[in-house]
Amino acid sequence: MVSGNLFHCRRNSWPAEEYVGRTALQLLDFDGGSPPEQAWRRRLNSHANLLKEFSVTFMEAMRMMSLGLRLWSYVREEASHGRKAPIDPFTKEKCKPSASQGVPLGGMGSGSISRGFRGEFKNWHIIPGLCETSPIFVSRDGGNKKYSSVLSPGHHEGLKKCNDSGISSWDWNLSGQHSTYHALFPRAWTVYDGEPDPDLKISCRQISPFIPHDYKDSSLPTSVFVYTLVNTGKDRAKVSLLMTWANSIGGFSHHSGGHFNEPFITAKDNPPVTFAIAACETQNVNVTVLPVFGLSGEGHDSAKQMWDKMKQNGHFDRENFEAGTSMPSSSGETLCAAVSASTWVEPHGRCTVVFGLSWSSPKIKFQKGCTYNRRYTEFYGTSERSAVNLVHDALTKYRIWEEEIEKWQNPILKNEKLPEWYKFTLFNELYFLVAGGTVWTDGQPPVIDEKPSPGSNQQKSSKRGTRDTKQESVKDNHVKLTAEQVTNGGDLATGEVQSVSKYAAVHGPQMAKATNGIGSQEPIPYLLSKSGPENVGKFLYLEGVEYIMWCTYDVHFYASFALLDLFPKIELSIQRDFANAVLYEDRRRMKFLADGTSGIRKVKGAVPHDLGTHDPWHEMNAYNIHDTSKWKDLNPKFVYRDFAATGDMSFGRDVWPAVCAAMDYMNQFDRDGDGLIENDGFPDQTYDAWTVHGISAYCGGLWLAALQAAATMAHRLGDRPFAEKYKLKFIQAKAVYEAKLWNGSYFNYDSGTSSNSRSIQADQLAGQWYAASSGLPPIFDENKIRSALQKIFEFNVMKVKGGRLGAVNGMTPNGKVDETCMQSREIWTGVTYGVAANMLLHGMEHQGFTTAEGIFIAGWSEEGYGYWFQTPEGWTIDGHYRSLIYMRPLAIWAMQWARSPPKAILDAPKVNLMDRIHLSPQMIRAMNEINVRKIAPDNRCFPSSAFRCEC
């Protein structure tokens, strides 16, 4: 199915005709019902195999034993406080991951619900930082008098069968042999080509509001399902479609009991969640509702009774719109609701039926106490009716959304010079901006609990949240809705909260103690920076659903191309948050698990590793494996590309003090004064299990790019002394870097004497990649750049299963995979995309697309390992994954950036700005220092430190 060299293959290798009959495609080509020519496709009867997780070797386990013991102890300690550790390799999910994912539902930052390609609702990510994977069932009756079936193949395995009165009593007549799924994020099509009814063609089109540069609708938690029905028979057919919903936020919360119909009330453990399901009633479509049914039927209709009524009548009673309050559900029972849409379809006729789903969780509460309003509340408020209004607007606006989506995607999809796999994978990798635990607030200050968080959190965590439901029906503009409200959240009683009235440093009592009981008790100020001239809110996204840290900066470095291209105001908002954090110091002490030492949480002048986990923006650096204030790749990755790409001088001026501090902070790592930083013999960069000694290709190259970027930025902002200082450093450092690392064909891994110092690192030119992406001149001669990239292509890519896996991180000069550590032998998906982008920037088009195609073949193709819509951080050469649903693969957008740079980059001055920076004699003789905190290596003090020494 998938060739190894699609770049040179212009034919459509994933034609829709191989999945759906040509006649069906023509019949469904009505109101958008036919799937697009370019899409990721799968048959519904495809086997969803279980995914295989990586394992460490015996020697790796021995080397990491001490770390593992400390990490295990830390995970237990966090659990005792009712919190989940940011990294927890010991607790396994009850629902094992499988190759079954599809396009997720909703916009960005308002809680997400993923949907499998066979129709089931899967990963729920509504509570920040928590991802529950047990699916909740949805069914639609696609039959008439002759046929009735759930539109999903086989019996659902995610829920226990509640005897014959539960969903196992429904008709599961779909084999999936003639039904197919077609994904092109943010839309997906499911086509039922003559099954379960041979005379009926059905297309279900799923639409979510993900619209580049639209900072309103892209935040909305809603999706629309458009059914296109075609009757190919000779008789008039009555078709009834049914959408059901279980009162739950994922996992087994639907069994907790206490679900009932009454007005909205305040919840006790987490902010409330409201769901609404709806259908459009037209002249030809009749909508009815069943406000409540259960799986067992105690006190109300059972699932079996509901199904039997639908089979017999094709609709529910109209009187249900006037139904009053139901009885509360008992513990262990699931409360459900249903909406039915019925229509008559004439012989050879067509009809469209539209359903909508929305969920409203207006407040985001983090586990250490801070509560924020989500972005969409700026437009819909925080009341319980938000879900109803959201689903109503979705049903009336989805056509506009589709027009905007097609306007954005068509130039790429219709570009015949691009490989087919690249076109749809480019869009489908964006799933992470919805399903990656994203949080998008309104940008306003938080509501802060007055009670000390650790104690109250521990108490709350021991209670089971109660859930209350409200069923209501609304008639408005031919839209009928039934809304089901679930509340399961925090203690928000009057008098227990206070609002921060302005952006300022606010000392909260809950910040007065270190969370791990080590060291300082002093209070820490909250960091509340403005998001820029225009308030587009605050945005967070996880490193991965298994690595629960917000906006991990060393990974964001790769992933941010997607945000900068599609939502640049969000990207600048994130950068402002980090700029604010650079100038901030958090003196609470924390323990570092790799070596058991301790240090302060956040050092002034250092770019933080992440914005935190349980109290983002205020308690940063949730990552505690290593002391990231000693990392060498975080500060050099800071800011310039975004300044250059947007041309936003206001942004540049705002972040300039942080840029100066971040650059000068790094001078302490230049141990010998040659202008080039050195690594310290531990994994002090994004490859946090891969030790580096001395000068390294990765960190050293990033430092060269940062020196050039800082000098250029200073020149543009009028800071001549800084520009001169860092141009001189760049000239010095470049000569040292090439002398120490260039071996004639590529740059050595590092300048040390270890067995892997001459390894070929796939990411060795990361600095050059970013320099080119930022419109800066090449760091090295073009022939050296192309030589190193060709070496990477021949060794790291093509010597690993013929290029069908991506680029392995490390390869020895003799053509063997570098087995130094688990990361050196892994293929990292995002790094591979970054390497491919670098190749495109330097005219190596064939090598670039072939390199990236390996990720598609291994992760997305039918012959691969099944990682679609859950792309992991990486996999081993036998396909075993590490960290599913990971941020870094968004770097595929760096490839598109390389192909189509923004106007500000294209229109940059053709004369090298570095050549305009003239060095004064005084600058050559002396270099000034900035007062930022220094890290004392080998217990030696830095007398110029602005802070007291703690040696």
- Check pLDDT > 70 for residue 128: no
- Check pLDDT > 50 for residue 122: yes
Q: What is the pLDDT of residue 220?
A: 98
For residue 843, give the amino acid letter: G
Q: What is the pLDDT of residue 374?
A: 95
Q: What is the pLDDT of residues 38-85, one digit of tens each?
A: 999 999 888 888 999 988 889 889 999 999 999 999 999 999 988 999
Q: What is the pLDDT of residues 665-707, one digit of tens each?
A: 999 999 999 999 999 999 999 999 999 999 999 999 999 999 9
Domains identified in the chain and CATH numbers:
6-50+96-491 (no CATH), 502-939 (1.50.10.10)
Helix (H, G, I), strand (E, B) or coil at 8: helix
Q: What is the pLDDT of residue 728?
A: 92
Q: What is the Cα–Cα distance from 159 to 137, expressed in whole angstroms?
A: 8
Q: Are 861 and 1 in contact (CB under 8 A)?
A: yes
Q: Are 823 and 808 in contact (CB under 8 A)?
A: no
Of 24-33, 143-152, 391-400, 481-490, give the range with the top mean pLDDT: 391-400
**Percent of the chain beyond pLDDT 70?**
74
* Mean pLDDT, rounded, for 509-517: 32
- Check pLDDT > 50 for residue 937: no
pLDDT band at residue 326, thresholds of 50, 70 and 90? low
Provide the residue count of the chain.
Answer: 951
Helix (H, G, I), strand (E, B) or coil at 602: strand
Q: What is the pLDDT of residues 138-148, one digit of tens each?
A: 333 334 455 65
Q: What is the Cα–Cα distance from 273 to 263, expressed in whole angstroms?
A: 14
Q: What is the pLDDT of residue 913?
A: 60
Residue 616: closest CA among 269, 886, 448, 366 = 366
- Check pLDDT > 60 for residue 153: yes
> Which has more pLDDT, 448 or 301?
301
- Check pLDDT > 50 for residue 503: no
Of 466-470, 636-640, 905-909, give the range with the top mean pLDDT: 636-640
Q: What is the pLDDT of residue 695?
A: 98
- Check pLDDT > 50 for residue 931: no
Q: What is the pLDDT of residue 662?
A: 97
For residue 366, give the amino acid letter: F
Q: What is the pLDDT of residue 481?
A: 45
Q: What is the pLDDT of residue 315?
A: 81
Q: What is the pLDDT of residues 786-826, one digit of tens each?
A: 999 999 999 999 999 999 999 999 999 999 999 999 999 99
- Check pLDDT > 90 for residue 636: yes
Q: What is the pLDDT of residues 419-446, one digit of tens each?
A: 999 999 999 999 999 999 999 999 999 8
Q: What is the pLDDT of residue 528?
A: 52
CA atoms within 13 Å, Cβ hemisphere of 76 = 6
Of 74-78, 205-209, 241-245, 330-334, give the range with the top mean pLDDT: 205-209
- Check pLDDT > 70 for residue 95: yes
Q: Which of 104-113, 249-258, 352-361, 543-552 comes out lowest in average pLDDT?
A: 249-258
Number of H helices, E strands in the chain: 22, 31
- Check pLDDT > 70 for residue 186: yes
Neighbours of 428 (CB within 10 A): 24
pLDDT band at residue 158, thresholds of 50, 70 and 90? very low
Q: Which of 60-74, 759-773, 878-892 comes out lowest in average pLDDT?
A: 60-74
* Mean pLDDT, rounded, for 579-595: 96
- Check pLDDT > 90 for residue 945: no
Structure tokens at 126: 């509504």
Q: What is the Cα–Cα distance from 314 to 384, expressed in whole angstroms?
A: 31
Q: What is the pLDDT of residues 284-308, one digit of tens each?
A: 999 988 887 776 656 667 777 777 7
Residue 358: closest CA among 377, 396, 386, 397 = 386
Q: What is the pLDDT of residue 922?
A: 60
Q: What's the whole-number average pLDDT of the chain?
A: 81
- Check pLDDT > 50 for residue 940: no
Q: What is the pLDDT of residue 464?
A: 34
Q: What is the pLDDT of residue 859?
A: 97
Q: What is the pLDDT of residue 154?
A: 58
> Which has more pLDDT, 21 or 453?
21
Going edge to edge, which strands form the sheet with 471-476?
40-43, 179-184, 187-193, 200-207, 222-231, 350-360, 273-280, 479-486, 471-476
Of 47-61, 257-271, 409-423, 458-472, give the range with the top mean pLDDT: 409-423
Angle (nearest 5°) at CA 387 between 381 and 393: 90
pLDDT band at residue 112, thresholds of 50, 70 and 90? confident
> Which has more pLDDT, 948 or 203?
203
Q: What is the pLDDT of residue 466?
A: 36
**Percent of the chain beyond pLDDT 90?**
57
Q: What is the pLDDT of residue 495?
A: 26
Q: What is the pLDDT of residue 4?
A: 40
Of 1-15, 311-325, 459-473, 888-902, give the range with the top mean pLDDT: 888-902
Q: What is the pLDDT of residue 152?
A: 64
Q: What is the pLDDT of residue 264?
A: 27
Q: What is the pLDDT of residues 367-379, one digit of tens each?
A: 887 899 999 999 9
